[in-house]
Structure 1
Amino acid sequence: MTQLRQRMSEDMQVRNFALNTQLSYLQQVSLFARYFGKSPDLLGREDIRTYQVYLTNEKKLAPGSIHTAIAALRFLYSVTLERDWAPEEVLPLPKKPQKLPIILSPEEVQQFLGCVLEVKHHAILTTCYAAGLRISEAVQLKTTDIDSQRMVVRVEQGKGQKDRYVMLSPKLLEILRDYWKVRRPVAWLFPGDRAGQPITRDAVGHACAKARDLSGLSKPVTPHSLRHAFAVHLLEAGADVRTIQLLLGHRSLATTAQYLRIATNKVCATSSPFELLPRPAPTLPPAAKPQYF
Structure 2
Amino acid sequence: MKWEAKLVKHRGKSRIAVLFDKDIKLIARIKQLEDARWSSSKKYWHLPDNKENRARFKITTTEKNLLDPKTSAEISKFSNWLRSRRYSDNTIKTYCEALKSFLIFFDDKMPEAITNDDVILYNNDFILKNNLSFSYQNQIVNAIKLYFRTIQEKTLDVDKVHRPKSAKTLPNVLSKEEVKLILEAHLNLKHKMMLSLIYSGGLRCGELLALKPENIDSKRNIVLIKNAKGRKDRIVPLSLKILDMLRGYYQLYKPKTFLFEGQIQGQAYDARSLQQVLKQAVSKSGIKKPVTLHWLRHSYATHLLESGTDLRYIQELLGHSSSRTTEIYTHVSTKSLQQIKSPFDDL
TM-score in terms of structure 1 length: 0.85
Given the superposition, is the C-alpha separation of residues 51 and 234 from structure 1 closer, same or farther in structure 2, using an over 3 Å criterion?
same
5 Å-filtered alignment, 1:130-209, equals: 130-193=200-263, 196-209=266-279
State the structure with bigger RCO (CA 8 A, min sep 6), 1 or 2.
1
* Post-superposition CA distance 1:14-66 (Å, at most 9, x none): 433222111211122223334444675564434433432323332x3322232
* Post-superposition CA distance 1:137-181 (Å, at most 9, x none): 111111100000000000011111111100100111122222222
| Separation in structure 2 between the aligned mates of residue 181 and residue 161 of structure 1, nearest angstrom | 32
Give the corresponding residue for 1:95.
165
Structure that is richer in strand per residue: 2
Q: How large is the Cα RMSD of the aligned pairs?
A: 2.3
1:74 to 141, 145, 151: 145
Pairing 1:56–2:124 present: no
SS at match of 1:264: coil
Q: Which has the larger radius of gyration?
A: 2
SS at match of 1:21: helix
Is the Cα–Cα contact under 8 Å of residues 116 and 208 in structure 1 kept in the other structure? Answer: no
Given the superposition, is the C-alpha separation of residues 34 and 212 from structure 1 closer, same or farther in structure 2, using an over 3 Å criterion?
farther
What amino acid maps onto 1:48 in structure 2?
V
5 Å-filtered alignment, 1:11-90, equals: 11-37=81-107, 40-41=111-112, 43-53=114-124, 54-58=126-130, 60-89=131-160
Identical positions, percent = 33
| Separation in structure 2 between the aligned mates of residue 192 and residue 93 of structure 1, nearest angstrom | 43
* Post-superposition CA distance 1:80-122 (Å, at most 9, x none): 2222332322x44431110112210011001112223443332
| Separation in structure 1 between the aligned mates of residue 86 and residue 323 of structure 2, nearest angstrom | 24
Structure 2 regions of 5+ residues with no counterpart? Answer: 1-68
Is the Cα–Cα contact under 8 Å of residues 131 and 167 in structure 1 kept in the other structure? Answer: yes
Is the Cα–Cα contact under 8 Å of residues 155 and 164 in structure 1 kept in the other structure? Answer: yes
What amino acid maps onto 2:144 in structure 1?
L
Is the Cα–Cα contact under 8 Å of residues 145 and 156 in structure 2 kept in the other structure? Answer: no
Matched length? 275
Is the Cα–Cα contact under 8 Å of residues 74 and 88 in structure 1 kept in the other structure? Answer: no
Given the superposition, is the C-alpha separation of residues 137 and 259 from structure 1 closer, same or farther in structure 2, using an over 3 Å criterion?
same
* Post-superposition CA distance 1:218-277 (Å, at most 9, x none): 2221110000000011111111111111111111112111111111112332334555x5
